[in-house]
Amino acid sequence: MGGLPLRPQRGRPPISAECRELIIRIAKENPTWGYFRVGGELLKVGRTVAATTIRAVLVAVGIPPSGRRARLRWN
């Protein structure tokens, strides 16, 4: 059993599936909220998630940034 020693994992651990689903749900229910606002709401329920992580989750499932989700118009 003289194999190579295991290398330590690098970077942050991935977020849980529960947290990922919560991010998607919040973004769909509140189309005008940006990444920082979604992150702030997650803090209220005890989850600390960076805006870039929120962006990565939403881009991975095909949800565009908030301005495009809400279809804002400047009248």
Question: Contact 69/24 with Cβ under 8 angstroms?
Answer: no
Q: Is residue 47 part of a domain?
A: yes
Q: Is residue 12 part of a domain?
A: no
| Per-residue pLDDT at 14 | 87
Q: Is residue 10 part of a domain?
A: no
Per-residue model confidence as pLDDT tens digits over 15-32:
999 999 999 999 999 988
Number of domains in the chain: 1
| Per-residue pLDDT at 51 | 94
Position 11 pLDDT exceeds 80: yes
Task: In whole angstroms, give the CA distance from residue 42 to residue 21.
Answer: 12
Mean pLDDT (whole number) for 60-72: 75
Q: Is residue 49 part of a domain?
A: yes
Q: Is residue 29 part of a domain?
A: yes
Q: Is residue 46 part of a domain?
A: yes
What secondary structure does DSSP assign to 6-70, as a single string?
PPPP-SPPPPPHHHHHHHHHHHHH-TT--HHHHHHHHHHTT----HHHHHHHHHHTTPPPHHHHH
pTM, full prediction: 0.75
Q: Give the range of the structural domain holding residue 41, as residue numbers without chain letter.
A: 17-67
